[in-house]
Amino acid sequence: MTIQRALGTCYYPEHWPREQWANDARRMAELGLKWVRIGEFAWSRIEPEHGYFQWEWLDEAIEILGENGLKVVLGTPTATPPRWMIDRHPDIYAVDEMGNTRKFGSRRHYCFSHLGYRAECERIVDILAQRYGGNPHIAAWQTDNEYGCHDTVISYSEAALHGFWRWCEERYGTIENLNQAWGNVFWSMEYSSFEQIELPNLTVTEANPAHCMAFRRFSSDQVTSFNRLQVDAIKQFSNIPIAHNYMGRITEFDHFEVGNDLEIASWDSYPLGFLEDRIDETEQFKHEHSRQGHPDFQAFHHDIYRAVGKGRWWVMEQQPGPVNWAPYNPAPLPGMVRLWTWEAFAHGAENVMYFRWRQAPFAQEQMHSGLLRPDSETAPAFDEALQVANELKALSTDENVDAKVALVFDYQSAWATDIQPQGKDCHYFDLAFDYYRAARKLGLSLDILPPDCADLSAYQLVLVPGVMTLSSELKQAIEQFAGQVIAGPRTNSKTDEFAIPSPLPPNFPGLDATIEYVESMRPTAQVALNTRGNFIKWQEKIASSAATLAQTLDGQAAVTKSNNITYVAGWPDQEALMYILAEQCAELDIPTELMPASVRRRDTKTHRFYFNYGNQAQNIAGVTIEPTGVYWSEQIST
Amino acid sequence: MTIQRALGTCYYPEHWPREQWANDARRMAELGLKWVRIGEFAWSRIEPEHGYFQWEWLDEAIEILGENGLKVVLGTPTATPPRWMIDRHPDIYAVDEMGNTRKFGSRRHYCFSHLGYRAECERIVDILAQRYGGNPHIAAWQTDNEYGCHDTVISYSEAALHGFWRWCEERYGTIENLNQAWGNVFWSMEYSSFEQIELPNLTVTEANPAHCMAFRRFSSDQVTSFNRLQVDAIKQFSNIPIAHNYMGRITEFDHFEVGNDLEIASWDSYPLGFLEDRIDETEQFKHEHSRQGHPDFQAFHHDIYRAVGKGRWWVMEQQPGPVNWAPYNPAPLPGMVRLWTWEAFAHGAENVMYFRWRQAPFAQEQMHSGLLRPDSETAPAFDEALQVANELKALSTDENVDAKVALVFDYQSAWATDIQPQGKDCHYFDLAFDYYRAARKLGLSLDILPPDCADLSAYQLVLVPGVMTLSSELKQAIEQFAGQVIAGPRTNSKTDEFAIPSPLPPNFPGLDATIEYVESMRPTAQVALNTRGNFIKWQEKIASSAATLAQTLDGQAAVTKSNNITYVAGWPDQEALMYILAEQCAELDIPTELMPASVRRRDTKTHRFYFNYGNQAQNIAGVTIEPTGVYWSEQIST
Amino acid sequence: MTIQRALGTCYYPEHWPREQWANDARRMAELGLKWVRIGEFAWSRIEPEHGYFQWEWLDEAIEILGENGLKVVLGTPTATPPRWMIDRHPDIYAVDEMGNTRKFGSRRHYCFSHLGYRAECERIVDILAQRYGGNPHIAAWQTDNEYGCHDTVISYSEAALHGFWRWCEERYGTIENLNQAWGNVFWSMEYSSFEQIELPNLTVTEANPAHCMAFRRFSSDQVTSFNRLQVDAIKQFSNIPIAHNYMGRITEFDHFEVGNDLEIASWDSYPLGFLEDRIDETEQFKHEHSRQGHPDFQAFHHDIYRAVGKGRWWVMEQQPGPVNWAPYNPAPLPGMVRLWTWEAFAHGAENVMYFRWRQAPFAQEQMHSGLLRPDSETAPAFDEALQVANELKALSTDENVDAKVALVFDYQSAWATDIQPQGKDCHYFDLAFDYYRAARKLGLSLDILPPDCADLSAYQLVLVPGVMTLSSELKQAIEQFAGQVIAGPRTNSKTDEFAIPSPLPPNFPGLDATIEYVESMRPTAQVALNTRGNFIKWQEKIASSAATLAQTLDGQAAVTKSNNITYVAGWPDQEALMYILAEQCAELDIPTELMPASVRRRDTKTHRFYFNYGNQAQNIAGVTIEPTGVYWSEQIST
Ligand SMILES: [Zn+2]
Ligand SMILES: [Zn+2]
Ligand SMILES: [Zn+2]
């Protein structure tokens, strides 16, 4: 599949005097931008009173952008219901875990389960699609904005409660089935009707994890069906692609499920903000990367969203300078905006859209930089975007590389470890990310796979750490797989109803092994392996007839292998993981290259790219790459 | 009093297919277990709808266990009211300090003050006792389960408010008396009727400590009367002993008061979980003991509950492997389950019951290990229990040693320092525990005494640190005591109504001394003594005509003594405390033995036991004790 | 203006038997005290039921004090509405940010916006003033007590909501104006009526900062008008001075606004408590000053309140020993109570009043020391007060020095950085305090100026760091100013409606400079300057034609100067700040003297004072000053 690369930006005509629009559009075009996203927060300007519409300004804005050759992504405005919506639906709000109603005054102030709000969204999207579905300048749609941002997936509202009753009824049929599935005999938690079930917050001690898992599934399903409502409304009048802009490290809903209804996946990439507010690294690491971001975090999401988009994905919002929302908001090193942009392209992005065209001088995001300053002078990112635009002339198309290694990523496993981590820092996301970045440090280009992947035959090596329940599709795919699988810890350790399976885990196709017990360990504890590195956080006592590839210093089996299945019975640190992966790649003749410091590499079909996220120059592939430097070559030295 | 030692387990027949019961019972008996606890969470199976009972399964379970020679402890199921109870009593719940109602979905979801629930409990216990009071296999009762676990003693519900009004009226008679007793003239807090009093939460700044203390006393009394209700109901139909299973470091209710209505005290001993979630030690210390537990914490509770049970006490739940509820849940070192069991016996336990027979694969505690794995294979603790069962054959009976040293432990003092610690880390429990473990490091076997103890004549040395109000009984006992008393800091520093007494503290029988002022100190500060060690956390300026046993380096009196009273005018660190205690013991010819590292010793009437909680072998008493090792000898080298 | 220095104390006759009053008054007079504050918490004793008054005790107390030559400050009792008030006004309470009502049982349990309570306050103050306005012993009034203590300025109650609607209507006139001013087009936050506006709590993500700023202004204005109500009531019957006792580091209301209605500013100075609970310093620093307090914190407030009182100010409550409310409550070093007292006098205090005469043995503050112990014996502070009383005989009058350096202090800027700090530790108070203490370490005596100061001509150097919006008065004053101004970072960076101004900041009179972007930095990051010291926390990219006084090591302009304006484009550490200030002072021939360690100096018109807050003796000005030592001389070596 050929990828056409382009740049774009996010624009809010409603924020600026109308006389400024034409000049803005002209400058965008001159900069070399091809795409503009608009409209996603403009409901109060489109429909200032219920049923009273103002189209003229939006018509004109689209027209001006279009006449300057820009393709428009039109956002549905449902992330920001106007104030009059509250008068119509006073109970529209989500309710937090402590029972507090989350009020009007910012954004995302709605509960996904509220039926009245769903109808309003259907109505406005229908009207929008009808009006602009045939507009020649509209080239794509965006539904809503950043589902799940600000902890908005999970709501303990009355609407959610009623929705959950019906969801449970649909899944379990009878209350007896539900009691059985959840193990409600424990602590006399048995129900006699669906309407007796409460949402699992504010319990005296932890709620039944099966109850929690059902609620998390329901909550994720509500996002999917909310999005589908909009997709269905749009598709009545338009057949251009529909996207949603996901965020970084939001795991509360299943992005694969939402993505199944969309043509394009996109995400909002804020490397510096994310480093400070949602990545588990040492202070020292954050200090050294505070102006560059984490060298693997963006790549990981690029690869996830390439999977979610079934190959088609964008960066819908690209950080262009300091932002306003992280605990600390430094400026990127000069060159990083270019680096981030090229890294997205190397991972197969079609478009990279800078957020935002011009910094707004008012309201919540006034300290969020743009390509332009509030006074319309250029901000530092402007020249970097210009450089990329020029570089793109020679590299405007490409194709994704055929990756040899894949990692299965599973949202439900993230819910499982949210609900019952067993050790307080044992979260699935971190485990998957640890595998991912160890592979990256060996220079590997990976694909991400969904947990219901039914065919692994394109790969030589597939990683499935911590996937708590293997789907029947994946189980079958593994059975038929000729390549190598590396699994564990915790892989296949729960049934679909959050119980310990029988026979005991891992119960893996082709591996004779039993986890006798598991233990989580304090951060001060680690278990040295006789090969390289240590187990941290988590360790499993495994009884197996398989070969022992590594053992702990006190002689317990740590890594076992039989047939094409390797099981890692603990949480390996990076040294241990890189050793395991490197050995396996060597055996498979998959070439690896040890990355120096914070340099990372990514292949496309035609090029090999190196990105230096570090603060020192590094020599690799016969060249010196300065900090913030990007190097690419057509020769791929596999 | 001769102690008959035995082992047991906790079993949930309702969790398993009926066809498994006989095999389970047989295996228990073969393992050498004598006791099984059942029934304490089974209300929804006993009474699935209000007034509709299912006895058949419980009859059969008891019969099967009994026929295998097992004695049954039958628990009242009141810790887990079924869901139908909520329909009958929608306001049954406790309310937390922030005003949030603590909902259904786990356990202990009731307020002790709810009169409707009290009636329901009386009803079900009455019915249970009537049915099984004469059953030959039922050998003991357990009331409810772990009073106070999950912060459930203190409730800010409407039911509690109404109960508190009547409690105040009973204690103070008139509102004028209450105003006077609490000092309500301060800040114009005077009331004109009992119904004007609110519960002391959500105040703008701290509530009156006298108000808080009254509420804490009320809350504790509610537990006592709730338990007594069940005891009275049982005793109508049964005269076998009644126990309750207390927890570790729950100080919100007065265990001595509850214990006065019961024949047996028992507690649930989770050394690894407690180390991580409720013990104030350094990270280094926790790291070194993470697979063994704190070397003094279990012993302290063993001794407290021996006092609470007036000599008769059990471990009702013994941790057998990793648990599910601590921040980190490692596995015990091999041998620790045996060590913990023997340590309980050395402190006079009658029974040690492992929790639980088989690990449940479902619901909240699915990651809590048992003697068996979920697949019925043996877990590591099984063989250790077997070893103890065999060792018990030679040591099945014993008697408690006549301790020479006693420590007064007072729940009200814990409430006082919860309410007004004066320094944020100055909690009574820690102070009492510091005294206890200093004595233990000198090899002493202690008794714990209640704060209304009226006779000290059995002892040579009595420790009363931090007992905020000396009861008239204890004051008189001290006056008549021929032995030595060590008191302070803070001993007798409050009146019974939480005021500073006149004359000023310590106002101790036989000691001419006045505390001129007190101060709390930041963790970075400590005050060196001219003898050994330091004062930490707390220091008192004392004016006294008594002899000065130690002074601070700037010349203030730190430890004074007159007649048989030693007063310690600060919070001594372990080095200081051990020196004070060792000197006093030497004077009294009480033999001490300095414990190496984490080794501890405990005497019975016939044996001396050593327990190595450390991670290195230690030489003591002429033998080498390996880590996790237990050594005992009949010769007591006093 | 000549200052008459005196000592006093705070006394609660209602706490003690009437027969003790005469003796207390006699001892106060003998100690040399001249002033006594009474009455401020006595509402329930003055008016035990609504409309039923008991004056006799208060008449007598005032008479006894007066006859012993003591001047009485009479407090209005409105900080502690009695319990019957709640029956009359059940909704009197403030509501916290989470929506919890803050209940009865301590103090300050009222919402400033509650109209019913305002009427009650007007009533009681009117009655009090009528009764005692002509009493010859009453020499001053105090309104309420410690506005803002315990976070009581900001309330999310219904009363506040309604008040805020009217406040907005008055400020903005029309809802369109408000929408425009706040930038509500952003995120579709537009309103169609004032009654649609909610208070800015419990929003899904942060509320509009303009909305928050309006609410903070409203909240501050409510304090001002509440206080003015009392002032107006008093002034009907009395023309003696009226004071309020402010607290340390309470910035939620504009003290200058409240102070404009009062004759005297006073504050409650608790150096040890404040060090532990509200000062941002290292643990090491706190450790070294735990018994002395911060060497600049009291001085800073003395100078602020001298400005708030337009020259007239007192210490209404002076810490005399350990208090009860800080996390740790050590005793001051011997001599510190004298030092604190003299420091207040050196900064121009008229009175220093010790809180309290006698330690109360009951209720919330029973662990708060006084001049007397609860048993009426003298506490350590008594002798230090006596020493000061004797020393005062020779130094009873003085005059404030004519300071050459002034610092503008602005409460609104504190609100701005509360609302949107941009870096999580970037708070205005700390920035202003950093400037202040750097100047103090150079031996400078400063004045504080309000942000609407219209005349700077008395000074040679004026500091305006972080004043977010320059008032028109101050802008004009700067334009006309012949001296030097040092500004930045963040100075003049917001419009009056919390937007980024156009042209971009600093837009400073006489300085050609543009802040291109700003960034906040993690605590691990700092930017070295080529002169001395570093920027920490905050850095600005400045484009300027002005001279560069300092630059960062990578060549960016850090400190620029043009005409008489110096702009500091970052948050300087103490070394950088002292260098900037010392260079500027040298240029202006303002003499500086580098203070050793924790020694500080302060000049009056006639004397130079040195205070040693450190724990070691220091040599300065040719003398050796011991720890806690105060040295003064008549020769001012300027
Ligand atoms: Zn067109
Ligand atoms: Zn039988
Ligand atoms: Zn008179």
Neighbour-count burial for B599-619, b at 16+ CB within 10 Å, e otherwise: bbbbbbeebbbbbbbbbeebe
Report the pLDDT averaged over residues B277-290: 96
- Cβ contacts of residue B496 below 8 Å, gap of 6+? B469
Cβ–Cβ under 8 Å, residues A498 and A522: no
pLDDT at A636: 57
- Dist CA B269 CA B248 (whole Å): 7
Report whether pLDDT(C140) > 60.
yes
How is residue A524 written in tokens?
């001060």
| Cα nearest neighbour of C111 on chain B | B204
Report the pLDDT averaged over residues C342-366: 98
How much of chain C exceeds pLDDT 70, in percent?
Answer: 99
pLDDT at B1: 83
Report whether pLDDT(C142) > 90.
yes
Contact B330 A522 (CB under 8 A): yes
Report whether pLDDT(A637) > 70.
no
Q: Nearest CA to B39 among B62, B64, B22, B18?
A: B62
Averaged confidence pLDDT in chain B: 97
pLDDT at A509: 80
pLDDT at C617: 97
The DSSP secondary-structure symbol of A139 reads E
- Dist CA B204 CA B189 (whole Å): 13
Burial class (CB in 10 A: 0-12, 13-18, 19+), B192: middle
pLDDT at A471: 97
Report the pLDDT averaged over residues A280-286: 96
Report the pLDDT averaged over residues A364-389: 98
Half-sphere exposure of C172 (CA within 13 A, CB side): 24
How is residue A250 written in tokens?
């939001």
When pLDDT is cut at 50, 70 and 90, the band that residue C571 belongs to is very high
Report whether pLDDT(A95) > 90.
yes
Report the pLDDT averaged over residues C393-420: 97
- Cβ contacts of residue A529 below 8 Å, gap of 6+? A535, A550, A551, A552, A553, A558, A559, A572, A576
Can you tell me whether residue C518 is helix, strand or coil? Answer: strand
Report the pLDDT averaged over residues A132-152: 98
Report whether pLDDT(B478) > 90.
yes
Instruction: Give me ligand 1 centre to Cα A138, in Å.
Output: 10
Alpha carbon of C332: minimum distance to chain B alpha carbons (Å): 10
Burial class (CB in 10 A: 0-12, 13-18, 19+), B47: buried
State phi, psi for A326 to the nearest 5 degrees: -85, 165
Report whether pLDDT(B638) > 60.
no
Report whether pLDDT(C636) > 60.
no
| Cα dihedral A407/A408/A414/A415 (nearest 10) | 180
Report the pLDDT averaged over residues B252-277: 98
Q: Mutate which of C329, C333, C359, C628 to test chain B, going by most B C-beta atoms within 10 A? A: C329
Instruction: Give me ligand 2 centre to Cα B507, in Å.
Output: 61
**CB-CB: which of B196, B211, B525 is closest to C287?**
B525
Contact C44 B190 (CB under 8 A): yes
Can you tell me whether residue A47 is helix, strand or coil? Answer: coil
Report whether pLDDT(B392) > 70.
yes
pLDDT at C509: 80
pLDDT at A510: 84
How much of chain A exceeds pLDDT 90, in percent?
Answer: 98
Contact A103 C185 (CB under 8 A): no
Cβ–Cβ under 8 Å, residues B47 and B55: no
State how far the alpha carbon of B623 is from the alpha carbons of A302, A549, B629, B630, C451, in Å.
63, 40, 11, 11, 79
**CB-CB: which of C81, C327, C362 is closest to B210?**
C362
pLDDT digits (tens, 9 = 90+) for C197-225: 999 999 999 999 999 999 999 999 999 99
Touching chains, B (3+ CB pairs < 8 A)? A, C
How is residue A296 written in tokens?
């693997």
- Dist CA A326 CA A367 (whole Å): 11
- Dist CA C308 CA C409 (whole Å): 10
When pLDDT is cut at 50, 70 and 90, the band that residue C457 belongs to is very high
pLDDT digits (tens, 9 = 90+) for B205-220: 999 999 999 999 999 9
pLDDT digits (tens, 9 = 90+) for C232-282: 999 999 999 999 999 999 999 999 999 999 999 999 999 999 999 999 999
- Dist CA A401 CA B532 (whole Å): 71
Touching chains, A (3+ CB pairs < 8 A)? B, C
Residues with CB under 5 A from ligand 1 (ion): A 63, 66
Can you tell me whether residue A217 is helix, strand or coil? Answer: helix
Cβ–Cβ under 8 Å, residues B479 and B513: no
Contact A187 B107 (CB under 8 A): yes
Give the strand pairing for C2-4 and C397-399.
antiparallel
Amino acid of residue C27: R
Amino acid of residue C585: C
Per the model's pLDDT, the better-predicted residue between B509 and B490 turns out to be B490
Q: Is the backbone of residue B590 left (phi > 0), alpha (psi -120 to 50) or beta? A: beta
Q: Nearest CA to B137 among B58, B214, B252?
A: B58
| Tokens 């599949």, residue located | A1
Give the number of whichever ligand sits closest to the CA of residue C69.
3
Report whether pLDDT(B141) > 60.
yes
When pLDDT is cut at 50, 70 and 90, the band that residue A1 belongs to is confident
pLDDT digits (tens, 9 = 90+) for A574-619: 999 999 999 999 999 999 999 999 999 999 999 999 999 999 999 9
- Dist CA B435 CA B449 (whole Å): 14
Averaged confidence pLDDT in chain A: 97
Q: How many CB pairs under 8 A join A and C?
A: 169
pLDDT digits (tens, 9 = 90+) for A179-219: 999 999 999 999 999 999 999 999 999 999 999 999 999 99
pLDDT at C54: 98
Report whether pLDDT(A349) > 90.
yes
- Cβ contacts of residue B187 below 8 Å, gap of 6+? C41, C80, C106, C107, C363, C364
Report whether pLDDT(B518) > 70.
yes
ipTM of this predicted complex? Answer: 0.97
pLDDT at A635: 64
Domains and CATH numbers, chain C: 2-149+238-392 (3.20.20.80), 405-588 (3.40.50.880), 599-633 (no CATH)
Give the number of whichever ligand sits closest to the CA of residue A62.
1
Contact C44 B185 (CB under 8 A): yes
When pLDDT is cut at 50, 70 and 90, the band that residue C33 belongs to is very high
Helix (H), strand (E), coil (C) string for B372-385: ECCCCCECHHHHHH
Cβ–Cβ under 8 Å, residues B362 and B374: no
Report whether pLDDT(C608) > 80.
yes
Alpha carbon of B378: minimum distance to chain A alpha carbons (Å): 9
pLDDT digits (tens, 9 = 90+) for A249-271: 999 999 999 999 999 999 999 99
Report whether pLDDT(B636) > 70.
no
